[in-house]
Each structure stands twice: as structure tokens, then as C-alpha cells.
Structure 1
């Protein structure tokens, strides 16, 4: 038989153990020192050079040659392709880049997303000037 004093100590000990056990479940980001976390890359790597090669009127095969196979081909809209790239450095914040291509009659009409063509390539794609005659 337990004395009232022992019973109180036992109850407090059990309550303390239960509180510690429950609080361990609610620690949001428990960091163990020395644990290596890998970098995570997913999707298609998209570069500005790839975007600068795109021109309206390119066929789907030409776009695949420049950009690679799209990550998402919308089954309900065959004229829309999505290229998504995400990167999360080990233990860091995830970044994401996205490009959506739109086609009409299997020809690229336009694209939207996180990249834009550079100024010199946009001007070169939309205007063409005749070659200057050579004097030699």
C-alpha cells in the first residue's frame, strides 16, 4: 500500500513523463547535428540559352530537341506542354521554375513562365534585315 506522499510523487512523475513524451512529438524541426541532407533536383533543367533558342512557328519535335521532353503533357489539351524544375539544397528552401508552351496545329505559338527571351534574341527573331553587300 502506498502512502499519500508516495502516491502524489508517483502521479507527478507519471504526469511529467507523459508531458515530456507528448512534447517530443510536437517539435517542428528537430535538427540532429552532423546529419547530411542531399540536394534534390526534380524536373527539366531550364536555362536562359534554351529559352533564347525558341521561336514561334517551331514544330513540337524542334521544341523537344531544344527543351527536352516536357514534364507534363496535359491529356485534355494536347497543345499545352509544361516544363517544371524544382531544386532544394540540402535542408534549404525549395525553389521552382516553370515554363508553359502553347501550340496550334503542332506549331509553337507562345510560351509563358519564369523566363523571358533576352532583348537581342527577341529582336533578332522578330525582325530580319538584309545582309549588307560586301565591297571585296
Structure 2
């Protein structure tokens, strides 16, 4: 009598071969860290994922921080710099302004400025030495300008002089609206 393979043996052989192929493919897959790294690596070497732009805190520049002077009240400082990101109940003499931004195509940025108060008056400011000016900050986050796609926002002095002077329009006094009526006096004279 010839030996015929059982049904279980026929199913086991392809399943074992499939498991071997799957295990060998795992050595070729990138790790999770390489897929989700911040440097902008492509997923599986094919697609660059969209990264959500995350902006937190208040943007503080050299010009803005120069307006906050020692001796100002908390309300005046809040009007100039905005509300602090962190205030501590246990350290009510300290305000922390922290700013972070992560944009696709630019390096992540983080800055922290600490303001110290004596009662209600600003005592001192601890700011990093590399705090940017307004133009430096805009240049650091402007990906369109780096690609050469930035629109021109201002006219040069020669372009302003070349503009035609607008003609002055005569000012007409508008007619009163509504119906003109005269009413008799409310009180009669005796």
C-alpha cells in the first residue's frame, strides 16, 4: 500500500515556509526609531510623513524684551510680553516665558526667559544670550524664503516715487436723510 501524506502534513509544509520567509524579512525592516525620527527620515525609505507644526508659548525677541524694564508693574509687563506660560503658586515672584516651535523643514527651537519680581514690580530678567531679533526669528522659521518663494512685501523708495499721485475727489455734503416735517409746539401759550 503506497504512503499518502496526511492532510495535516500538507498544510504544515507551506505554513513553515511562509513563517521562514516572514522571519527573514524582519531583518530587512527599519527599526521604529528610524521610522519616526525627528530628522525627517522617510518611512520605509519611500514616503516622508507629514509632521504637525507645534508652536507653544510666547515669541520673545530682543526688541520686545527691551521694552520690559525693571520697576514696571506685573500688569504693564503682561501688556508688553503677554501672559507667561508658567507661573508657580509656590514661587509667585517668578514668571517663565517658554517658547518652542517644531516646523517641517526647519530645526526645532526652544527658548526660555525668566522674569523676577519684587512684590508687584519687575526686578530682573534672565534671558538667553542668543535671543533673536524679530528679523532673525522670521528668517529662522521662514521655509518659503529659503526656497526662494518669498513674496516682496515692501516697495523700494524709487518704486514709491514712481507711483502716480491720486487725484483729489471733491467732497460733497450729503443730503439729510428722512422726511423734513415741521411739528407744532407741544405746549400752547396762553
Structure with max Cα Rg: 2
Contact 1:56 1:109 in 2 (8 A): yes
Could you tell me how far apart the structure 1 residues matched to 2:106 and 2:87 are?
29
Q: Which residue matches 1:76?
A: 90
- Structure 1: gaps of 5 or more residues: 118-136
- Secondary structure at the aligned position of 2:59 is classed as coil
Q: Do structure 1's residue 52 and structure 2's residue 66 form an aligned pair? A: yes
**Which gives a bigger RCO, structure 1 or 2 (Cα 8 Å, sep 6+)?**
1
Residue 13 (structure 1) aligns with? 18
What aligned pairs does 1:1-136 form with structure 2 within 5 A after superposition?
1=6, 2=9, 10-18=15-23, 20=25, 24=29, 26-30=31-35, 31-32=42-43, 33=47, 35-90=49-104, 92-115=106-129
Q: Distance in 2 between matches of 1:37 and 1:9?
A: 41
Of 46-55 and 18-27, more deviation after overlay is shown by: 18-27
Q: CA deviation at 1:18?
A: 4.2
Q: Is the 8 A contact 1:80 1:102 kept in 2?
A: yes
Gap runs ≥5 in structure 2: 1-5, 36-41, 132-190
Instruction: Give the aligned length.
Output: 115
Q: Secondary structure, in 3 states, of the residue corresponding to 1:114?
A: coil
Q: TM-score, normalised by structure 1?
A: 0.67
Which structure is higher in strand share? 1
Q: CA RMSD in A?
A: 3.0
Deviations 1:94-136 (CA, angstroms, capped at 9, x unpaired): 210110000012111111132589xxxxxxxxxxxxxxxxxxx
1:54 shift after superposition: 1.6
Q: For the structure 1 residues 17 and 95, does the alpha-carbon distance in structure 2 shift closer, same or farther, using more than 3 Å as the test?
A: same
TM-score, normalising length from structure 2? 0.50
What's the offset of the Cα at 1:10? 4.0
